[in-house]
Amino acid sequence: MSQIPVTVLTGYLGAGKTTLLNRILSENHGKKYAVIVNEYGEEGIDGALIVGADEEVYEMNNGCICCTVRGDLIRVISGLMKRASTFDGILIETTGLADPAPVAQTFFADEDVASKTKLDSVVAVVDAKHLLLSLKNAKEAENQIAFADVILLNKADLVGAGDLAHIESSIRNINRYAKIIRTTRCNAPLDKILGLGSFDLNEILKRDPDFLKGEEEPHHHECGEHCCCGHHHHEHDCESRHDSSISSVSLISSNPLDPAKFEQWIMDLRAKKGPDLLRYKGILDLMGSDNRLVIQGVHMMMDGTNRLPWNEGERRASRLVFIGRNLDEKALREDFARCAA
List interacting residues with another protein (CB under 8 A).
40-41, 51-52, 54, 56, 58-63, 69, 71-72, 74-75, 79, 82-85, 110-112
- The distance of closest approach from Cβ of residue 41 to another protein in the complex, given in angstroms and rounded to an integer, is 5
- The distance of closest approach from Cβ of residue 75 to another protein in the complex, given in angstroms and rounded to an integer, is 7
- The distance of closest approach from Cβ of residue 66 to another protein in the complex, given in angstroms and rounded to an integer, is 15
Give phi and psi for 182, each to the nearest 5.
-80, 130
- The distance of closest approach from Cβ of residue 21 to another protein in the complex, given in angstroms and rounded to an integer, is 19
The answer to whether 311 touches 317, Cβ cutoff 8 Å, is no
Which residue's CB is nearer to another protein, number 81 or number 252? 81
d(CA 268, CA 281): 17
Which residue's CB is nearer to another protein, number 30 or number 82? 82
Look at residues 320, 287, 326, 324 and name the one whose alpha carbon lies nearest to residue 304: 320
The answer to whether 58 touches 64, Cβ cutoff 8 Å, is no
- The distance of closest approach from Cβ of residue 51 to another protein in the complex, given in angstroms and rounded to an integer, is 8
d(CA 58, CA 73): 11
Which residue's CB is nearer to another protein, number 41 or number 313? 41
Which residue's CB is nearer to another protein, number 28 or number 85? 85
DSSP 57-121: EEEPTTT-TTSEEEHHHHHHHHHHHH-SS--SEEEEE--TTS-HHHHHHHHHH-HHHHHHEEEEE
Which residue's CB is nearer to another protein, number 63 or number 313? 63
- The distance of closest approach from Cβ of residue 79 to another protein in the complex, given in angstroms and rounded to an integer, is 6
Chain centroid to CA 234: 28
The answer to whether 122 touches 198, Cβ cutoff 8 Å, is yes
d(CA 185, CA 27): 14
First to last CA, the chain: 38
- The distance of closest approach from Cβ of residue 244 to another protein in the complex, given in angstroms and rounded to an integer, is 33
Task: Identify any residues that bridge with 121 across adjacent strands, giving them in sequence order.
Answer: 7
Which residue's CB is nearer to another protein, number 42 or number 168? 42
Which residue's CB is nearer to another protein, number 42 or number 203? 42
Q: What is the 3-state secondary structure (H, E, C) of 266-316?
A: HHHHHHHHHHHEEEEEEEEEECCCCEEEEEEEECCEEEEEEEEECCCCCCC
159 contacts: CB under 8 Å, gap ≥ 6: 128, 129, 167
- β 150-154/277-285 pair status: unpaired
Which residue's CB is nearer to another protein, number 28 or number 62? 62
- The distance of closest approach from Cβ of residue 47 to another protein in the complex, given in angstroms and rounded to an integer, is 17
* C-alpha pair distances (Å), 73 with each of 38, 80, 111, 113, 274: 11, 10, 13, 9, 23
- The distance of closest approach from Cβ of residue 61 to another protein in the complex, given in angstroms and rounded to an integer, is 6
Which residue's CB is nearer to another protein, number 60 or number 341? 60
39 sits in which H/E element? none
